[in-house]
A = this chain, B = another copy of it.
Amino acid sequence: MSANSFGSRLVMHTFGESHGRAIGVLIDGVPAGLPIDFSALQKFLDRRKPGTSAWVSQRAEPDQLEIVSGIFEGKTLGTPICGFVYNQNARSGDYENIKNQPRHGHAEQAWKNKFGHIDHRGGGRSSGRETLSRVIAGAICEQALNKIAPQMQVVGWVSQIGEWPCDMDLARTSSRAEIDQFPARFPIQDSQFIAEKLQNAKTNGESYGGIAEIEIRSPLSSLGQPVFHKLKSDLATAAMSLGATLGVDFGEGIPSLCVAGTEFHATTKVTQYGGIQGGISTGDVIRFRVYFKPTSSILDVAKKGRHDPCIVPRAIPVLEAMASFVLMDHWLWSQTDKFRI
């Protein structure tokens, strides 16, 4: 398996450096005949774009998706789909002064030790911009899943920023479209509260870690393999392959575990298990959380005024995309679970 590939039956191969010529993905294994709605793809891509509100990075990239293979007359061919965006607003000059001085808290020093040669501009391949590739792949999967299981919804939100938790009841009853309306995808009644916090952080060079929560509502059952490709394991891999993540948990989460087993198992809350048993989806809601460290760009001379004070809001579409990719991969895999002859 190569270092830039993800998936088992369906595979995405991502490529591109932050300030190189292009960033994109090659997706292999999508069955033939799936109609593709290009404008929906572009719209999904725009959800992670920088420059969309006052407190996120102001790198203004059009991020116009080009798909150069695998789709003909609006439908997939069963051949590899290559999609990418050209990088345009890459202020590489900003990075000249760090060329020989790796940034604290960034990947540069470790990368340099490992590979000897490094594209220092904007994090190179370690940039969060790499996640754009994943969104393209996940957005295509979502179009497939919408046909396979229209009732299934992958919905994520920011459930904590710094020390501030969202309104969980509001979050769990909101659709993706509704969550996208909240500033910072942070569901809370007083929506200006967090906008101000983030604006202040941006002004003051501050940043916050936070928590993303993802729900797969009305999921298909029987997805996931029993040993190494458990559904929980593949979702965790997806989450932990993002740059700023430091943890992941499923079900009701870590605090719920520190009780006696008679109490834990007495519950009728199926959510205790996160909707997955023995690695396989049961059909109950799948719920997991991903933990992000505060962005280190505050320390970063090069990014003066262009940093995200909290990266989690923009990570939501990436996590949703990755979850959809994992679901589609396992759906394909599940087609040969049983000998049906």
Please report A residues at the B interface, Cβ cutoff 8 Å.
Answer: 1-6, 8-9, 11, 13-17, 20-24, 26, 28-34, 66-70, 72-73, 75-82, 84, 86, 104-111, 113-119, 124-126, 130, 144, 147-148, 160, 162-163, 205-211, 221-222, 225-230, 232-233, 236-237, 239-241, 243, 245-251, 253-254, 257-262, 264-265, 272-274, 276-282, 291-296, 298-299, 309, 332-341
CB distance from A338 to the nearest CB of B (A): 5
In the complex, are the beta carbons of A279 and B117 less than 8 A apart? no
Q: Which of A9, A230, A247 neighbours the largest number of chain B CB atoms within 10 Å of its CB?
A: A247
Q: Contacts A246-B249, A247-B248, A253-B247: A110 and B281 contacting too (C-beta < 8 A)?
A: yes
In the complex, are the beta carbons of A298 and B262 less than 8 A apart? yes
Report chain B residues within 8 Å CB of A260. 162, 206-208, 294
Report chain B residues within 8 Å CB of A1. 1, 8, 229
When the two chains form the complex, which single residue of B30, B205, B236 contacts A240, counting CB atoms closer than 8 Å? Answer: B236
In the complex, are the beta carbons of B335 and A106 less than 8 A apart? no
Report chain B residues within 8 Å CB of A239. 236
23 chain-A/chain-B pairs, Cβ below 8 angstroms? A2-B28, A3-B29, A3-B227, A9-B9, A13-B13, A13-B26, A22-B69, A29-B336, A32-B116, A75-B117, A77-B119, A78-B117, A110-B282, A111-B226, A114-B337, A144-B339, A148-B341, A162-B258, A209-B259, A210-B257, A261-B294, A261-B298, A265-B298
Q: Which of A23, A33, A124, A261 neighbours the largest number of chain B CB atoms within 10 Å of its CB?
A: A261
Please give the count of copies of this chain that the complex contains: 4
What is the CA–CA distance of A236 and B233 in the complex, to the nearest angstrom?
8
What is the CA–CA distance of A341 and B23 in the complex, to the nearest angstrom?
29
A277, closest chain B residue (CB): B110
Q: Contacts A2-B28, A114-B222: A69 and B21 contacting too (C-beta < 8 A)?
A: yes
CB distance from A228 to the nearest CB of B (A): 5
When the two chains form the complex, which single residue of B23, B225, B226, B336 contacts A9, counting CB atoms closer than 8 Å? Answer: B336
In the complex, are the beta carbons of A33 and B265 less than 8 A apart? no
